[in-house]
């Protein structure tokens, strides 16, 4: 058993990045797939952590999304809060064009940062913060990584730390602890980097949609925009369509003024205008009460 040297791995990624126009109408170009496959040649203990029986997320747990109002948005239609239609799906960190996944987070306050990345100020807009409930109590098929520098305040900190010793042990006969850490740092940087998602989108797509052992349920990674204080999930859309995770509530918020004060904090003036709850097949809206305002405010204590 061998593990590819980090220097060689870096060289392979550079070759991958050098390919322009790596997508065509039919999907991923053959040359890109060939270069992508080279990333793990000789690397028999890769740092992709596949867990076929993950306990997270648990039944009853809430997950969150943020949706920015756009022309034609139908606020009472639950489908507008889910993953976009195939024809409107662009490439993102964990998906290829025309292959939608359901992105969500385990902290509502962090969801906003995912939607407004690259934006420093907002004024006079409506945003919708949706709350989803996990109904399924089964084990999940999950792909993740060992990530660097996870703060103890991260909701999944104990789960991530629990997995680290097993990964380090596999490498201890081949690398020093410092070399293993450098390897982990490389994978972390490659999966979470800004701008280009060539590496992460293909790896995620192959796991979610082209896995010989059965399609995966979701890809799990710390929030880049939230400085790893929370975690993002990229669910196979079948999990949502089968009703294993369902929409429960939507906060309709008017943002009068918002300014990013740092990478993970904001100053804003906003008003909770209404609360939507799923009744039947539609959202029914009502005026927010004191409890609604308190609950919503509490979601953002860590970022304001």
Residue 177 and residue 99 share a domain: yes
pLDDT at residue 19 in the model: 76
Residue with the bigger pLDDT between 252 and 55: it is: 252
At 69, is the pLDDT very low, low, confident or very high (cuts 50, 70, 90)?
Answer: very high
pLDDT at residue 80 in the model: 97
Task: Residue 20: give the domain boundaries.
Answer: 1-44
pLDDT at residue 3 in the model: 61
pLDDT of 1 over the 50 cut: no
pLDDT at residue 45 in the model: 46
Residue 52 and residue 34 share a domain: no
pLDDT average, residue stretch 201-212: 79
Average pLDDT over all residues of the chain: 83
pLDDT at residue 27 in the model: 65
Is residue 252 within 8 A of residue 285, CB to CB? The reply is: yes
pLDDT of 282 over the 60 cut: yes
Interacting residues of 278 by C-beta distance below 8 A, sequence separation 6+: 78, 246, 247, 248, 249, 284
Q: Compute the distance between CA of residue 241 and CA of residue 280 in angstroms, rounded to an integer.
A: 16
CB atoms within 10 A of CB 139: 13
Q: SS3 of 187, please?
A: helix
Q: What values do phi and psi take at 253, rounded to 5?
A: -125, 130
Which string of b and e fits 216-253 if b means at least 16 CB within 10 Å? bbbbbbbbbbbbbbbbbbbbbbebbeeebbebebbbbb
Residue 202 and residue 89 share a domain: yes
268 forms beta bridges with 258
Using CB atoms within 10 A of its CB, is residue 267 exposed (0-12), middle (13-18) or buried (19+)? exposed
Helix (H) or strand (E) holding 72: none
pLDDT of 250 over the 70 cut: yes
Q: SS3 of 18, please?
A: coil
Residue 241 and residue 292 share a domain: yes
Residue 133 and residue 39 share a domain: no
pLDDT average, residue stretch 179-192: 76
Residue 196 and residue 99 share a domain: yes
Residue 161 and residue 180 share a domain: yes
Residue 300 and residue 280 share a domain: yes
Q: Compute the distance between CA of residue 94 and CA of residue 89 in angstroms, rounded to an integer.
A: 12
Which segment of 69-78, 110-119, 264-273 scores lowest on mean pLDDT? 110-119
Residue 239 and residue 118 share a domain: yes
pLDDT at residue 73 in the model: 97
Asked which of 44, 59, 79 is the last residue of a domain, the reply is 44
Which tokens in the block code for residue 7?
A: 């220097």
Alpha helices by DSSP H, the chain:
6-17, 30-37, 108-115, 157-171, 177-192, 198-209, 237-241, 290-299
**Selection from 145, 174, 166 nearest residue 44 by Cα:** 174
pLDDT in tens, 89-131: 988 889 988 889 999 998 898 888 888 888 889 999 999 999 9
Residue 135 and residue 234 share a domain: yes
Residue 186 and residue 83 share a domain: yes
Q: How far apart are the first and last CA of the chain?
A: 50
pLDDT average, residue stretch 42-51: 57
Helix (H) or strand (E) holding 131: strand 121-134
Residue with the bigger pLDDT between 224 and 216: it is: 216
Residue 52 and residue 38 share a domain: no
Q: Compute the distance between CA of residue 117 and CA of residue 251 in angstroms, rounded to an integer.
A: 20
CA distances from residue 191 to 157, 187, 200, 214, 247 in whole angstroms, order as listed: 18, 6, 5, 23, 29
pLDDT of 46 over the 60 cut: no
DSSP 90: P
Interacting residues of 116 by C-beta distance below 8 A, sequence separation 6+: 68, 122, 258, 260
Q: What's the domain count of the chain?
A: 2
pLDDT of 226 over the 90 cut: no
């Amino acid at each position: 058993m061998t593990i590819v040297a980090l220097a060689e791995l870096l060289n392979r990624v550079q070759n991958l990045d050098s390919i322009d126009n790596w997508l065509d109408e039919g999907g991923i170009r053959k040359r890109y797939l060939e270069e992508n496959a080279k990333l793990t040649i000789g690397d028999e203990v890769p740092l992709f952590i596949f867990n076929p029986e993950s306990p997270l997320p648990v039944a009853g747990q809430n997950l969150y999304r943020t949706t920015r109002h756009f022309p034609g948005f139908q606020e009472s239609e639950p489908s507008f809060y889910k993953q976009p239609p195939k024809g409107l799906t662009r490439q993102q960190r964990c998906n290829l064009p025309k292959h939608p996944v359901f992105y969500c987070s385990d902290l509502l306050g962090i969801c906003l940062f995912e939607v407004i990345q690259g934006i420093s100020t907002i004024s006079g807009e409506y945003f919708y913060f949706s709350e989803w409930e996990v109904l399924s109590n089964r084990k999940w098929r999950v792909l993740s990584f060992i990530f660097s520098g996870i703060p103890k305040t991260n909701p999944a900190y104990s789960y991530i730390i629990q997995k680290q010793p097993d990964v380090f042990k596999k490498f201890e006969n081949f690398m020093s602890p410092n070399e293993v850490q450098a390897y982990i740092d490389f994978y972390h940087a490659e999966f979470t980097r800004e701008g280009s998602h060539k590496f992460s989108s293909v790896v995620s797509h192959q796991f979610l949609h082209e896995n010989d052992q059965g399609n995966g349920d979701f890809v799990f990674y710390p929030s880049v925009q939230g400085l790893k204080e929370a975690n993002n999930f990229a669910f196979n859309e079948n999990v949502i369509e089968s009703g294993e995770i369902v929409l429960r509530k939507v906060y309709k918020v008017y943002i009068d003024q918002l300014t990013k004060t740092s990478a993970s904090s904001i100053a804003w003036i906003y008003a909770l205008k209404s609360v939507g709850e799923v009744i039947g097949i539609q959202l029914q809206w009502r005026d927010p009460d004191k409890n609604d305002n308190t609950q919503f405010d509490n979601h953002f204590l860590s970022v304001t």
